[in-house]
Amino acid sequence: MFRWYVVNTYSGHENKVKANLEHRIESMGQRVRFRRVVVPTEQVIDTKDGQKVQVEKRVLPGYVLVNMDLNDDAWMVVKNTPGVTGFVGAGSKPVPLSQPEVDRILKTGASAGGDRARTTIEYSLGESVKVTSGPLSDFDGEIVDVNPDQQKLKVLVDIFERQVPVELGFDQVKKLD
C-alpha cells in the first residue's frame, strides 16, 4: 500500500537528496514501489535592497516526502541514499503521514503562488494595529489609508508624542484585539 513517509536529510541538501533518490530508484529497478519524491516548498515575498522579491522557500527544511509502498527493498533504497540520515518515526520503523497532514503540507506548496504570496487580511480605516517588523516594530498606530492593490497601509504612529504617518506593507503589521 502506497503511503507518504518523511525522510530526514542534511539541511540544505533536500534537492540533491531528491535527485539522488530518484536516480537510485531507476537504477535499482524499484520504480514500481515509488510514486513521488517531493521537497515541499512555498512562494513567499521577501524584501531585498528595498525591493519585494518572490522567492521559493522550503516548508520543511531538512526533510523530503516520499510516496512509496514500503518493504525491505524500498527501505534500503531510501536509507542508503547519500544525504539521507533516516526516516521520521519511532525507533527504526518509519511512521507514515496521515492523509490530512499530507494534504496540508502539499497544499502549502501547490497554492503558494496565489494564497501565500499575497496577504489576504482585510484592514479598515480607524482600526488599531501593531507594527511587527522594520525600525518601528512594537509601535501601535491607527490606520488612516488602505491600498489593497499595493498591499500598503498608511498608519499614524505615535513617535515622541507626535502622530507621524508611516506607509507600511500588510505583512509589517498585525491587528490589535
Q: Do 97 and 58 sit in the same domain of this protein?
A: yes
Give yes or no for a contact between 8 and 86, defined as CB atoms under 8 angstroms apart.
Answer: yes
Q: Do 92 and 137 sit in the same domain of this protein?
A: no
Of 116, 146, 163, which one is at a domain's C-terminal end? 116
Domain residues for the domain of 36 are 2-116
The count of residues in the chain is 177
Q: How much is the mean pLDDT over the chain?
A: 84
- Beta strands 162-169 and 152-159 are antiparallel
Of 96, 116, 136, which one is at a domain's C-terminal end? 116
- Residue at 122 is within a domain: no
CATH number, residue 112: 3.30.70.940
Look at residues 59, 69, 66 and name the one whose alpha carbon lies nearest to residue 104.
59
User: Which position has the higher pLDDT, 155 or 123?
Assistant: 155
Residue 110: pLDDT over 60: no
Q: Do 83 and 144 sit in the same domain of this protein?
A: no
Q: What is the mean pLDDT of residues 149-176?
A: 87
Could you tell me the pLDDT band of residue 46, with boundaries at 50, 70 and 90? low
Q: Do 6 and 84 sit in the same domain of this protein?
A: yes
Q: How confident is the model at residue 115, as a pLDDT?
A: 46
Of 94, 116, 138, which one is at a domain's C-terminal end? 116
CATH number, residue 167: 2.30.30.30
Residue 150: pLDDT over 70: yes
- Residue at 159 is within a domain: yes
Q: Do 52 and 99 sit in the same domain of this protein?
A: yes
Q: How confident is the model at residue 104, as a pLDDT?
A: 84
- Residue 89 CA to residue 81 CA, distance in Å, equals 18
Residues near 84 by Cβ (< 8 Å), separated by ≥ 6?
A: 7, 8, 9, 17, 21, 78
Give yes or no for a contact between 119 and 170, defined as CB atoms under 8 angstroms apart.
Answer: yes
Q: Do 55 and 30 sit in the same domain of this protein?
A: yes
Q: Do 98 and 152 sit in the same domain of this protein?
A: no
Phi, psi of 160 (to 5 degrees): 55, 45
Predicted model pTM: 0.60
- Residue at 121 is within a domain: no
Helix (H, G, I), strand (E, B) or coil at 49: coil
Q: Do 10 and 90 sit in the same domain of this protein?
A: yes
Give yes or no for a contact between 20 and 83, defined as CB atoms under 8 angstroms apart.
Answer: yes
Number of domains in the chain: 2
- Residue at 123 is within a domain: no
Q: Do 10 and 49 sit in the same domain of this protein?
A: yes
Q: Do 139 and 169 sit in the same domain of this protein?
A: yes
Q: Which amino acid is at 52?
A: K
